[in-house]
């Protein structure tokens, strides 16, 4: 009898849905569920967001991350991710909602620390080098975030002596750059229109993880997971939140084991 591997479902159940970090959270749930049953994981396929007309509809995990590295890091947890063309396993459709299903904090950390960009994308992160910069995650889609003047004034007040600000945002990069420039905030960003939205997100994620100081949003899984990874890199005293729509003490308890967060 062939060993078994969970594969994604055809609808919501089993799919890695939403933005990049929502999908990473779903992957952590899948890892925990697979560990419980002793199954391997069929390489997840992401639905590509904001894709261009000629781009593929789906992206594989290995289109973004180093699959071999993931397996090497996770093997002591009893987890193996297999490629879609591996015929040595019997596929078993996953029948749970990976977003709603709870996953442990330790599994979430295991997955985060097992994600390594493919070499060509890792090279971009290393060449840009944000280790001496303040970075900020800005959500400028409709309905997200407080007024920009308030954020900009707080940045100028608290980080005026720091190096150039690195910002990450999903859309309207030139608008944010011009807005910061008009308010005498020197800034830069990375977005390569020849790469998929998901690859750009993954690169920006690591640029924020590597920065000296990070400012995130309370309502964003992207910001939450960046701060989680920074916690394990001993950067836990250089994280702040703006737009405190949630109780940040609750965020500390849920994500950071009580590690203090500041707010700007």
Residues 36-79: tens digit of each pLDDT:
888 899 888 776 666 565 666 678 899 999 999 999 999 999 99
pLDDT at 172: 82
What 3-state class would DSSP assign to 204?
helix
**What is the rounded average pLDDT of the residues 227-256?**
64
Q: Classify domain 119-263 at the CATH class level.
A: alpha beta
Q: CA 112, CA 43: separation in Å to the nearest integer?
A: 16
Task: Write down the pTM of the prediction.
Answer: 0.86
Domain range list for the chain: 4-112, 119-263
Structure tokens at 36: 């419980």
Question: Per DSSP, which regions of 102-252 are E strands?
Answer: 134-137, 165-168, 187-188, 213-217, 239-242
pLDDT at 247: 46
Q: What is the mean pLDDT of the chain?
A: 80
């Amino acid at each position: 009898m062939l060993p078994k591997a969970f594969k994604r479902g055809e609808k919501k159940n089993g799919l890695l849905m939403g933005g990049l970090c929502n999908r990473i959270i779903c992957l952590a749930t899948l890892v925990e569920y697979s560990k419980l049953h002793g199954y391997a994981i069929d390489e997840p396929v992401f639905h590509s967001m904001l894709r261009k007309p000629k781009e593929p509809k789906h992206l594989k995990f290995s289109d973004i991350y180093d699959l071999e590295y993931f397996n090497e890091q996770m093997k002591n947890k009893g987890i193996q991710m297999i490629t879609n063309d591996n015929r040595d396993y019997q596929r078993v459709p996953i029948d749970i909602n990976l977003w709603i299903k709870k996953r442990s904090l330790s599994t979430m950390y295991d997955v985060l620390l097992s994600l390594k960009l493919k070499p060509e994308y890792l090279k971009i992160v290393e060449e840009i080098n944000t280790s001496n910069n303040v970075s900020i995650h800005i959500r400028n889609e409709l309905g997200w975030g407080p007024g920009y003047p308030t954020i900009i004034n707080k940045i100028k007040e608290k980080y005026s002596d720091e190096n150039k600000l690195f910002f990450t945002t999903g859309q309207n990069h030139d608008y944010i750059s011009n807005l910061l420039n008009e308010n005498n905030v020197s800034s830069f960003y990375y977005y390569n229109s020849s790469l998929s939205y998901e690859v750009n997100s993954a690169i920006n994620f690591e640029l924020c993880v590597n920065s000296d100081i990070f400012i995130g949003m309370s309502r964003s899984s992207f910001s939450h997971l960046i701060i989680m990874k920074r916690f394990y890199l001993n950067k836990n005293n250089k994280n702040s939140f703006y737009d405190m729509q949630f109780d940040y003490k609750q965020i500390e308890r849920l994500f950071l084991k009580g590690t203090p967060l500041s707010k700007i």
